[in-house]
Amino acid sequence: MFEKAKNKYKDGEYKITVAKMIDKYEFCKTKNKITYTDFLNVSEISIISKILQEEHIENYIFWGGKLETDRSILMFYPDKLSEEMLVKNYEKIFKVIRITLPNTIKYEHREFLSGIMKLGIKREKFGDIIVTNFGADIIVLTEISKILLEDLKTLTRFKKSDISIKNIDELTKIEVEFEKINIIVSSLRLDNFVSELARCSRIQSQELIKSGKVFVNSINEFKYSKKINNGDIITIRGRGKFIFECIQKETKNGRYLLNIKKYK
């Protein structure tokens, strides 16, 4: 099993990620226990998803602590458990580190991220950072939560902050804001969407797709002609994240006026 993936990713930047995923799967099967990876980025999730589909693997789920995360872990669970039973284990797997800043201080996402990275903690060891009105919530694996808590307290930028560990169900819920835009395309092909959303030529849009910078519903998509459906989420690295809502109308010359929501 996984021989094709082992050969394909025996070298390159995804070698370790794929090898670790296979180890987690095999451990789950042999020990009959829930196993999970570190946090994966969108590209890693895309690659691993395709491998799991090709191998017809079941009993797994990607979850990052909340809906629509940029980073998620991959969890394998044994046949004796259902997905519903796995969900009940989320509290054991995830924690939230809450940083409450003094009223006089406001930090952006990059200040929280650089602070954690300054501690020497690798990016795959923590998930999304949700910036709030009071500071930030950081999604982490339970196993590193206490260590990270103590390390964060040593940073000068957080010296006057209140830092605590919360359960994952206490994660601050931030309402996602969108900007509504319209685009006109000749067909519902992916390269047409990318061209309009990234404001580039069709040739340039195809280059973006070919270079692995375009994702549809968190899956790396390399097919220019892929049809985009209502509700699909298109992510273009460096250009933004978009939801295709619906076709507003068809123009007189046979083109489509589309309603798009862009994540702010």
82: CATH: 3.30.1370.160
Structural domain including 101 reads 92-170
213 shares a domain with 231: yes
Sorted by sequence, the CB contacts under 8 Å of residue 135 that are 6+ apart come out as: 98, 99, 100, 101, 107, 161
- Assign 167 a pLDDT band (cuts: 50, 70, 90): very high
Q: Whole-angstrom Cα distance, residue 209 to residue 31?
A: 40
Give the start-end residues of each E strand in the chain: 35-36, 60-63, 73-76, 94-100, 126-131, 135-141, 162-167, 178-185, 214-216, 219-220, 233-236, 240-250, 256-263
On average, the pLDDT of the chain sits at 93
Does one domain contain both 165 and 184?
no
Binned at pLDDT 50, 70 and 90, residue 175 comes out as confident
Q: Is 192 helix (H, G, I), strand (E, B) or coil?
A: helix
Is residue 86 scored above 90 in pLDDT?
no
The whole-model pTM stands at: 0.79
CATH number at residue 208: 3.10.290.10
Residues 84 and 110 in one domain: no
Q: Which residues contact 28 (CB under 8 A, 6 or more apart)?
A: 34, 35, 59, 76, 77, 78
78 and 137 housed in the same domain:
no
Write down which residue in 88, 108, 125 finishes a domain.
88
Residue 157's pLDDT is 94
Q: What is the pLDDT of residue 90?
A: 92
> What are residue 42's phi and psi, to 5 degrees?
-60, -40
Q: Is 104 found in the same domain as 84?
A: no
| Pair 34, 79 in one domain | yes
Q: Which residue shows structure tokens 């394998």? A: 76
Residue ending a domain, among 70, 88, 106, is: 88
d(CA 79, CA 165): 32
Same domain? 8 vs 45: yes
Instruction: Look at residue 1 and tell me whether its pLDDT is greater than 90.
Output: no
Relative to beta strand 162-167, strand 94-100 is antiparallel
> Residue 85 — pLDDT band, cuts 50, 70, 90?
confident
Considering the domain architecture, whether residues 112 and 153 belong to the same structural domain is answered as yes
Tens-digit pLDDT profile for residues 100-146: 999 889 999 999 999 999 999 999 999 999 999 999 999 999 999 99
What is the separation, in whole angstroms, between the first and last Cα of the chain? 42
Average pLDDT (169-181) is 90
Helices (H), 9-93: 15-31, 42-54, 83-87, 90-93
Tell me the per-residue pLDDT of 40-59, one tens digit each, with 9 for 90 and over. 998 899 899 989 999 999 99
pLDDT at 43: 86
Bridge partners (DSSP) listed for residue 40: 72
Residues 6+ apart with CB under 8 A from 76: 24, 25, 28, 29, 34, 35, 36, 59, 60
Percent of the chain scoring above 70 in pLDDT: 100
The pLDDT assigned to 262 comes to 95
Q: For residue 69, is pLDDT > 90?
A: no
Domain tally, the chain? 3
Give per-residue pLDDT as tens, 199-232: 999 999 999 999 989 999 878 899 999 999 999 9
Nearest to 224 by CA among 197, 185, 186, 191: 191
Q: How far apart, in whole angstroms, are the C-alpha atoms of residue 55 and residue 36?
A: 18
pLDDT reported for residue 128: 95
Q: Looking at the structure, do residues 30 and 51 belong to the same domain, yes or no?
A: yes
The continuous run of DSSP H or E covering 3 comes out as: helix 3-8
Considering the domain architecture, whether residues 55 and 32 belong to the same structural domain is answered as: yes
Look at residues 170, 186, 214 and tell me which one is the last residue of a structural domain.
170
Contact indicator for 113, 121 with CB cutoff of 8 Å: no
Q: Are residues 108 and 58 in the same domain?
A: no
Q: Give residue-wise pLDDT tens across range 4-29.
A: 888 888 888 889 999 999 999 999 99
State how far the Cα of 99 lies from the Cα of 132, in Å rounded to an integer. 10
What's the pLDDT score for residue 219?
Answer: 82
CATH of the domain at 164: 3.30.70.330
At 83 the pLDDT is 84
